[in-house]
Structure formats: C-alpha cells, structure tokens
Amino acid sequence: MHFQWYPGHMTKARRMMQENIKLIDIMVELVDARVPLSSKNPDIDELAKNKARLIVLNKIDMADARITKEWENYYKEKGFFVAKVNSRSGAGMKEVKKLIEEACRDKKERDRKRGILNRPVRAMIAGIPNVGKSTFINSFAGKACTKTGNKPGVTKGKQWIKINKNVELLDTPGILWPKFEDQKVGLRLAWIGSIKEEILDTTEMAIAFLGFLQEEYPGALEARYHVEERSKALAVLENIALERGCLGKGGQPDLEKAGLIVLDDYRSLRLGLISLEMPEGKMFPKGTDERKM
C-alpha cells in the first residue's frame, strides 16, 4: 500500500506557520501517544529550531502505558520538555502550563532585564490531523474556544487564544508532510484515522494491522473475536468475517466489512490499550500489561 497525501490546505497551513513562527516563544507539538514518532511532523523541527520545544503525548488513555513511558524518556533524552495528557478528561493540563513557563523562564528573564514586564508567553500549538489538537486547546483553556471534530482537517485558519495572563496560544490547522519516507509511517497514521479512509484500501490496512497484533499483542484477537490467531493474517480476517456474519455474495466472507470492524474496534479501545511503535532500538514488551480487554 502506497501513501501519498498532501491536500492543498496543508501547504497553505505550513506557509502560515512559517510566517508566524517569529511571533512565538515556544512550539507546543501534540503527538498521538499511540504513534509518538509517526504522528510527529519532521517539518516542525526545522520550522521551530530556535524556539523552546514541548512535546505533548496526547491520548494517553488510548495507549499502552509501558510504551508511553519509553517515549517520554526518548523525547526527554532528545532535549524536549515532555508532558503526557488526556485532553478529553483534562489530565495533565496543569503539567503543560508548568512546563511552558519553565521552558520560557530564560526568555522571561531576558525580557525583565530589558524592562519588558508582564508580557505573556506566546506558544504555537501544532500537530498533524486527528491528534486531538482542538480538544486539547479547549481543555487547556477551560472553555470551548475552538471548533472540534473527529475528521482530519476540521480546524482551519488562525486563532490566538488567551489561556491566562501568562500564556497565549496560537492555533494552527493540522498539517502532514508531503512525502512519507517510510510507508510504515503512513500505515500507522491510517490505523489511527489521521488519513482519510476513502483514499485507502481497508482490507489491506486491516490485514497489516492483524499481522501487527499477532506479532506484538498475542492473545488480543482471540480474546476479542474468538478466532484462532496463529494463522496467516488473511485467514484470521476471513474467520473474523465469518464470526461476525460479514458475508457477501454466495456466503463468501466480506473482508472489507470485517476490516472496518477491526479498525473501528481498535480506535474504540475494544481491542485494549495498544501502542503501534517503539523508540528505535527498543522492543515491544511481552507478558502482562495494563491493557483493558
């Protein structure tokens, strides 16, 4: 499966970020805790290279906590400030505010020495589509100040949002980069719903996802679908189709329908708390974990 998707509005969003980067003190980049590298836009490292940086691991309630900890350590070792949050519940928001002020402490001190007092820290919020950016901003600000949605590309235009007397946020539309150097990145983003499904082959996506679960989360498929999961992924999908009554002409398994069920079950946590990637050089943990089945 080949991923190549870069709508025109994303080119415009990147240009807008370039124009406004000089206005901010810190770049706050949201990533999805299930795919903390695949959901991180490498363009932002270049755009914000002279700014303070905060990585927010969002949707921790959907990720494997053991793996999220590995990613927290990974980004801290890279020199980022790191926060873990659940935007829907508000968990971790106090830590984000604290880290923004900590990351900009030197800048505030330089302002003070120049006689600039009480100027709020200005932060740009960035993230690829569907990492929960609008929900994060609403939770962070404590009010419904941005339009939210569960489809990629809902947020459009530029908004300044006052959090308190110390912090102002600049929201930006979600952006992806023009080319996936590693097609596995595109696949992981498709699994979590950051790429519009109508341009993808659902059956191929589901078969690849089943293969991943067989390798890294053995037992998850048997627990959910009551199927033998030690077969090839295609056979497992066929058995899930039969188990769930997804039948086409002549009683043949409807693989596309079954694939949609599997992907929806993953995104709705019915398969448990599953992360999709580990830092380079690290292995997925085996054995018991904190997933809910």
Mean pLDDT by 10 residues, the chain (293 residues): 56 75 92 96 87 97 97 97 96 94 89 84 87 89 57 53 85 63 86 79 96 96 95 97 94 96 97 96 74 45
Sheet holding 81-84, edge to edge: 81-84, 52-58, 26-32, 121-126, 167-171, 159-162
Whole-number Å distance between alpha carbons of 154 and 133 = 10
Antiparallel, parallel or unpaired: β 26-32 and 121-126:
parallel
Q: What is the pLDDT of residue 141?
A: 84
Q: What is the pLDDT of residue 160?
A: 79
Helix (H) or strand (E) holding 81: strand 81-84
Whole-number Å distance between alpha carbons of 278 and 180 = 18
Residue 22 structure tokens: 């000089």
Q: What is the pLDDT of residue 255?
A: 97
CA distances from 103 to 52, 109, 252 (A): 6, 12, 58
